[in-house]
Amino acid sequence: MQHKIYALFDFDLNQKKGYSIDQFLNLPKVKQAPFLQYRDKSNSFDKKLENIIYLKERFNGKLIVNDELELAKYADGLHVGQDDVLRYETTIEKSILRLRMLLKDKILGLSTHNVAEIMIANKLPLDYVGLGAYRKTNTKNVKDILSNNISTIASVSKHDVCGIGGVKSTDKIPHVKYLVLGSNLYEN
């Protein structure tokens, strides 16, 4: 199976690496990615919006916003984590149904970490799931590493699966369609 790259633009990481947005967009792996997720935990709403509009104008694929519904209307979709999804409703199921209604035909993705979360996701109107962490990473504190179990878990998903967490572009992971690259985008 040929994996596709799902690029992750983490504003703080990009700043730490010393890259401008244009330099990031010109990274070879970013140029081949059909998806780009914008994650920004430090800027104001206005600065995030400015960056999203800038990326949307210059990125050739689909731009997904991380966790912030208010910004998703300026992008092609929204990705939510297990904890963040509960800010919209009292359960994951209700939250996803509400988000789907608000987003209409925009892309909607959800982070998952195990078979139980995949089974819940299978019942929901999602476009994809993120599954991980595949291996230990320096950018997030992850307690459960899936390693080779990721393939078994991914095999039960009815949605496209994006492998997350320490994934490298050279990884070959059965049942995973996209490799989510964050800090590994900057490496050759």
Range of the domain at 41: 4-186
Rg (CA), the chain: 16
- Report the number of distinct structural domains present in the chain: 1
Q: How many residues does the chain have?
A: 188
- What pLDDT sits at residue 175? 97
- What pLDDT sits at residue 32? 94
Q: How many CB atoms lie within 10 A of CB 85?
A: 22
Q: For 172, list phi and psi in degrees, rounded to 5.
A: -120, 105
The letter for the amino acid at 59 is: F
The pLDDT mean for the chain works out to 95
Q: For 154, list phi and psi in degrees, rounded to 5.
A: -60, -30
Q: Of 34-48, 83-97, 104-118, 133-147, which range is least confident?
A: 133-147
- What pLDDT sits at residue 40? 97
Q: For 54, list phi and psi in degrees, rounded to 5.
A: -60, -45
Q: Nearest CA to 22 among 33, 13, 14, 12?
A: 14
| Cα(45)–Cα(115) distance, integer angstroms | 35
Q: Alpha-carbon torsion 145, 167, 21, 81, what sign?
A: negative
| Cα(39)–Cα(13) distance, integer angstroms | 10
| Cα(89)–Cα(115) distance, integer angstroms | 22
| Cα(92)–Cα(101) distance, integer angstroms | 14
Provide the CATH number for the domain around residue 57.
Answer: 3.20.20.70
Reported as a single tens digit per residue, the pLDDT across 46-82 is 999 999 999 999 999 999 999 999 999 999 999 999 9
Reported as a single tens digit per residue, the pLDDT across 107-163 is 999 999 999 999 999 999 999 999 999 998 776 667 789 999 999 999 999 999 999
- What pLDDT sits at residue 144? 81
